[in-house]
Chains A and B, each alone.
Chain A
């Protein structure tokens, strides 16, 4: 399931960051890479989403969020 479909408040685990090389590296620098647990703080029907990665909040454009696949059950 793409990150953009996760509901507000849910915690998920990043499965695969399927975007371009440059962005992938940047997201990794920001702490978001395969296996990271993230919490969706804000996800409206359109527009960018806000997620909590490690201890920071990131804004991610919807287009980018579409390309990041996640698996449910980030909560242990």
Chain B
């Protein structure tokens, strides 16, 4: 059997790289992380004429410098794993910028095949691209494709195979100007003479990177034998060149690359005389309008939530029924096998009850993510980030932090993971710290229960007030953090606005699934283990009724109940339900049911005896704000890579919750709502 063949996909963000990846591999893909990095790694494979071809989706990058993790990953992969071919996807409507990456891939010595995507749009814009000419000039294969359908797919694969069998590497034809070329050649000789290189690394590339003062390359060279000599020589050349150019040498090198590209395009692309206003331009005129922008955005969000909650309700009932059925069946089965009571309780109360209470949100969350993915893939979310930049700026963040906030209304776990798109650490941690204030789907059942019992006339309004409260507190805390812990300034706000595109169904579903998967995994792993701990505490000393006043958890509840006294809900039942709520916030509802010994339907009546409307509201406020669920804590730990931030958020959120509920309750008493 022929050896498996490895291709890597490289390209700018929004050029259709992921679409091509999905198109090539179908659903046969594996998503993981790059070792030691919080950047997603996607791998897949397909078979073509009996040959298995592995595909790896490199992170979308504009360049291959050492300035962002994504770029370093892409670069290291190409050097260290030496894929047979790098397929570089470029947007035909925006060749000049897209080819900048191509130029660097060729410099790097990768074996490149160019996939020219979105030709239809280019055609509509009046661009005439002669791909044969372009291929000739670049010295690599150029294939026109449409990533959304099958156009050009076969030609692309064929030319990938052809390029490999020819065994020739892409040659670097960029000329950097006489002055630079001369010194580049000098340094290349020094590199060749002094250090032994891995055969995948082109000495010319290394010399070029040394002249560009690439931090990562400099570090690697300094670790090598004779590396010092090379660096010294590079330093001399550096100095000389900066004197000649009177500025950064890398600007001159970048200029040379763009010059090379512009020259090439002049010969191979015919442009229309005047730029026509595209459809995207027209939509943007309305959507980014200073006055219309925000209201339009709010309407869109409102519709999104309405659709989610309406459409998800029957599905959630279905899952609920299924879980109930599963619990009953397993009780019956275990009883028939004469299993001890504790085991039955472990399976029914602990595992099925605990994990089930989280799974029930799957429909809700998947639907919301489906719509967010649609908005993201269509290009609208980038506009939302633009519109909201002014608001986010006030709390020391910029527009890009806004997308994780929106995701938080579904589930805070993928929301926290979405902070990966933010460039600097300060922005990421600040966004992560205030994210749990976005009221996730799991908090809604708690509101629904209390609102239907105490505020039957204004249900919608009261729930809405809690969502708004979360947002207001996020802003307040953001302001406080900006003035105290995070005094520095946010990363510069630079973002591309991709043209609007109608997302493909497959792409949107895959995108949704990537996020939903995270939620399911958390239910399967972290929550499972915490469920066991809590079940255990509720069951010891053995013989007590599950989670009753005599169990360890009941005793803990009784001990901490006085803390909640000033908030108006100092009963041990309330305390225990809040402890359980750390599992997943809606577990609060189920726990109250268990503790009062009534089914959820009867819970409202029972609660009316221990809560007043005021204490009910204080309780909801506390539920909204206090320590996030275990899955979110785990996500915070993973994404900040620090226990410190995890414990900090747990502690500070609980403190904020206590203060918030205190103000509501005591203030309410003063105003005579008691």
* Complex contact A59–B96 (CB within 8 A): no
Pair A58/B251 contact, Cβ less than 8 Å:
no
- Minimum CB distance partner of A32 in chain B: B494
Interface size of A by CB at 8 A reads: 34
A50, CB-defined interface residue at 8 Å: yes
Q: Is the CB of A56 within 8 A of B67?
A: no
- A44 neighbours in B (Cβ, 8 Å): 290
Q: Are A31 and B100 in contact (CB under 8 A)?
A: yes
Contact A64 B493 (CB under 8 A): yes
Contact A30:B251 (CB < 8 A) given known A47-B389, A54-B96: no
Quick check: B94 and A55 within 8 Å, CB to CB? yes
Q: Which listed residue, A24, A25, A33, A58, touches B258 by the CB 8 Å rule?
A: A33
**CB distance B94 to A25 under 8 Å?**
no
Chain B window 238-280, contacts with chain A (Cβ cutoff 8 Å), 1 for yes, 0 for no = 0000000000101100110010000000000000000000000
Within 8 A of A (CB), among B51-106: 62-63, 65, 67, 93-97, 100
Instruction: Verify if A69 is at the interface (C-beta below 8 Å from B).
Output: no
B651 to chain A, nearest CB (A): 33
Q: Smallest CB–CB gap between A23 and chain B, Å?
A: 5
Q: How far is the CB of B92 from chain A (nearest CB, A)?
A: 10
Q: Are A61 and B492 in contact (CB under 8 A)?
A: yes
B398 within 8 A of A: yes
Residues from chain B with a CB closer than 8 A to the CB of A60 are 493-494
> Which chain A residues border B393 with CB–CB below 8 Å?
47, 61
In whole Å, how far is A42's beta carbon from the nearest beta carbon of chain B?
Answer: 6
The reply to whether A61 and B496 contact each other, CB–CB distance below 8 Å, is no
Neighbouring B residues of A41 by C-beta, 8 Å: 281, 284
Contact: A42 with B288, CB < 8 Å?
yes
Residue with the greatest number of chain B CB neighbours at <10 A, chosen from A30, A35, A46, A56: A56
B469, CB-defined interface residue at 8 Å: no
Known contacts A42-B288, A48-B386, A50-B288; is-contact A59 B495 (Cβ 8 Å): yes
Please tell me if B382 contacts chain A, counting CB pairs below 8 Å: yes
Q: Which residues of chain A (18-51) have a CB below 8 Å from chain B?
A: 19-31, 33-35, 41-42, 44, 46-48, 50
Give which listed residue, B94, B389, B390, B494, contacts A26 with CB less than 8 A. B494
**Contacting pair A56 B97 (CB below 8 A):** yes
Give CA–CA (A48, B389) in the complex, Å: 7
Among A28, A35, A64, chain B packs the most CB atoms within 10 A around the CB of: A28
Q: Which residues of A lie under 8 Å from residue B493 when comparing CB positions?
A: 48, 59-61, 63-64
Number of contacts between A and B (CB, 8 Å)? 104
Taking a contact as CB atoms under 8 Å apart, the answer to whether A58 and B96 are in contact is no
The yes or no answer to B331 lying at the interface (CB within 8 A) is no
Residues of chain A lying within 8 A (CB to CB) of residue B284: 41-42, 50, 57
**A contact residues around B496 at 8 Å (CB):** 30, 56-59
B200 smallest CB distance to A (angstroms): 23
Q: Does B470 contact A (CB under 8 A)?
A: no
What's the Cα separation between A36 and B389 when bound, in Å? Answer: 26
Most A C-beta atoms less than 10 A away, residue of B258, B281, B393, B497: B497
* Shortest distance between the CB of B211 and any CB in chain A (Å): 14
Which B residues lie within 8 Å of A63 (CB)?
489, 492-493
* Docked-complex contact A61 and B62, CB < 8 angstroms: no
Closest to A55 in B: B94
- Are A25 and B65 in touch, CB under 8 angstroms? yes
Cβ-defined contact, A59 with B386, below 8 A: yes
Residues of B within 8 A of A30 (CB): 62, 97, 494, 496
Residue B399, interface by CB 8 Å: yes
Quick one: which of B63, B97, B248, B497 contacts A59, CB cutoff 8 A? B497
Q: Which residues of B contact A55 (CB under 8 A)?
A: 93-97
Residue of B nearest to A47 (CB): B390
Separation of A72 and B63 alpha carbons in the complex (Å): 29
CA distance A20 to B491 in the complex (A): 11
Separation of A48 and B255 alpha carbons in the complex (Å): 27
Taking a contact as CB atoms under 8 Å apart, the answer to whether A64 and B497 are in contact is: no
Within the complex, what minimum Cβ distance (angstroms) separates B491 from chain A?
A: 9
Which B residues are in CB contact (< 8 Å) with A42? 284, 288
Residues of B within 8 A of A56 (CB): 94, 97, 496-498
CB distance from A10 to the nearest CB of B (A): 14
Q: A-side interface residues toward B, CB under 8 Å? A: 19-31, 33-35, 41-42, 44, 46-48, 50, 53-61, 63-64
Task: For the A-B complex with A41-B281, A59-B382 known, give 7 more contacts whose Cβ atoms are closer than 8 Å.
Answer: A20-B492, A27-B494, A48-B398, A50-B288, A55-B95, A57-B497, A59-B399
